[in-house]
A and B are shown apart, each in its own frame.
Chain A
């Protein structure tokens, strides 16, 4: 950020940090990089990634067991927190009409998915009329730990378009901030930290995709990975590494907003029980 001293006051600058397990942390590696040439941003490492996945796995059980309504309330709270800090985000996104429109969209996306949490099972679940004396139904369940590689364009909405549906379904997330434009993602973590998400439900790492992506893609405890921010070469790399544990690779169009994007991060569970006296 540019120097903005008014009078004698020396501006208190923000140290940008990663968000792991509910804590704001520097990289364990001690490294930083300056994507815009000015601000130091943590250059996350393989070990940061490991810590983030572990935090996400730990948080997953509790988060997925929350009621759908509770998850909706928390996503809506995130929309409120984001809206309240729109000035900061607009500044990060370059100010002007375009920046404002992006923040508007981001808030809207959070509200939209907040309203889906308790409708999803009704729209995508089924009761199945099997040929026999059985009660049989199918419900969506979260896949588990989801990796999100967000696009840098747009830098805020691009991440939230993926994060919101993944969280809506009850997953825990490890997101890689866009390498060139990480500040909106890292600031979003501050919004999420004040939205009542349990610690570890969302983790945001920054750094070089070259260093982080192979480990996220091949991690045996990550169940699905969204590649909306990956180049075609990176998609190929992710897809090959994802085979190690049969990871789901989500490749829906970047602007997608639909319940099918939520279920892309979910499994369908079918339960049978006999009917009898």
Chain B
């Protein structure tokens, strides 16, 4: 049926904007003030100091949390030390029982956790709801099953727990990183003191409640809040036998240096500058989705983000056209809206870091593309950004931006792609898109990275080991390999 000119004009005026679809928050109770979770109870901090945690999408204060000082750290470590004696000797199947309970409780309180995660961190609710929280529950479930099967994982060796683990986690996946740290540590028979990042402490404090609900023995999990100073006091505490850190390479190096000669075990999951390589025979529409997921997932606050797009020269033009078109349809805004693709930048500090690096990209001569994208007036926001004409020496091609900023480079041959992909001190992840199976394996073999996604990107699973080569850290989280950092094999 033909349409009239008038109808066509009417249609052209219509937009396909989504109506607001805000997630309900009335079922969530955030307390005005939080203490520290030590010895199974929420306690007042010795420091008497507190700081605010805000919603980065609104800049509104959500709660005041305690800033643990050295005395608080000492109390937490001592509580974990006391608990270690009984926890490490408990029948492993009982340890498993508690971990299964925790996993179930996370599932039961999933929506509440997702909302808190989004409010405190700024990530889109669809991500916290569909990725962070379910993966956290799955991680506890997976390692729960390992607790009484460790002898089967390490034949001819007797696996022994290490003691108190001091764990410091970042703000990009607060609950998921907590799960990655606590689940294997507890399954292996260790006890933990965990410090969440200062901008995202709330889901960890909710997790403390979950530990209470699970009737986990007091002191097995301790949660202390604070900033870098608290973290530094934790990792250097002599009662801590094992340190696990996820965060920037810069801080990871500081920790490795500070632990020199201490005899403590250390595992590090640090930064990345992953290459996402697209060959001319790749299915372009799928590749575009993968590129978008690779760099704009969680506002690019992802250590394994595909922040360097390497495109085969012959398809650079059509691919970039499709990519720009797709990026222009991304919805940026209220993280609690179920249709939001790009939420808020986690903090003002991070926003300034992204802005600084983007300015350097422009100054160094790269060409910037940002879709016409209205940013909310309050809160911290950065539009999805694509840099073309990037050379390998540009800062935006070398440094981890940790924001929604993609640097595009081109290549001609597979060997050149490998050369460019590996031309970085990092080695966390890599992506490759091609229809040719033998080439996938050839590329996967040569890329010096701990995780290689072929024709997909940013997939995670508790059974799948995750961790880096080179300056992206050492040790693996997930899978049977994820037990090793928490065990001594006698």
Residues of A within 8 A of B (CB): 126, 128-132, 134, 136, 138, 143-144, 223, 232-233, 235-240, 242-246, 248, 258, 260, 267-274
Q: Assess the A273–B456 pair: CB atoms within 8 A.
A: yes
A242 with B452, Cβ < 8 A, contacts A126-B479, A268-B465 known:
no
Interface segment among B161-169, B253-261, B405-413: the answer is B253-261
What residues on B are CB-neighbors of A274 within 8 Å?
Answer: 455-456
Q: Is B451 part of the contact surface with A, judged by Cβ < 8 Å?
A: yes
Q: Is B157 part of the contact surface with A, judged by Cβ < 8 Å?
A: yes
Interface residues of B in 428-443 (CB under 8 A from A): 440
What residues on B are CB-neighbors of A144 within 8 Å?
Answer: 448
Q: Assess the A273–B479 pair: CB atoms within 8 A.
A: no
Chain B nearest CB: distance from A113 CB in Å? 16
Bound CA–CA A223/B472 (angstroms): 12
Bound CA–CA A260/B448 (angstroms): 21
What residues on A are CB-neighbors of B440 within 8 Å?
Answer: 273
Bound CA–CA A131/B130 (angstroms): 13
B contact residues, range: 35 or more
Bound CA–CA A60/B44 (angstroms): 55
Binary CB contact string for chain B from 244 to 257 against chain A (1 if under 8 A, 0 otherwise):
00000100111011
Question: Please, could you name 8 A-B residue pairs with CB atoms under 8 Å apart, sorted by A?
Answer: A126-B480, A131-B138, A236-B261, A239-B257, A246-B249, A246-B270, A246-B474, A268-B465
Q: Is B425 part of the contact surface with A, judged by Cβ < 8 Å?
A: yes
Q: Assess the A246–B476 pair: CB atoms within 8 A.
A: no
Q: Top 7 A-B pairs ranked by shortest CB distance?
A: A236-B261, A239-B260, A240-B260, A130-B461, A243-B256, A243-B257, A128-B463
B268 touches which of A138, A246, A272 (Cβ 8 Å): A246
Q: Assess the A271–B444 pair: CB atoms within 8 A.
A: yes
Bound CA–CA A81/B314 (angstroms): 53
Bound CA–CA A15/B126 (angstroms): 71
Chain B nearest CB: distance from A83 CB in Å? 27
Q: Assess the A272–B464 pair: CB atoms within 8 A.
A: yes
Q: Is B353 part of the contact surface with A, judged by Cβ < 8 Å?
A: no
A271 touches which of B259, B425, B452, B480 (Cβ 8 Å): B452
Q: Assess the A138–B464 pair: CB atoms within 8 A.
A: yes
Q: Assess the B260–A272 pair: CB atoms within 8 A.
A: no
Bound CA–CA A112/B191 (angstroms): 37
Interface residues of B in 466-481 (CB under 8 A from A): 466-467, 469-474, 476, 479-481
A243 with B454, Cβ < 8 A, contacts A126-B479, A126-B481 known:
no
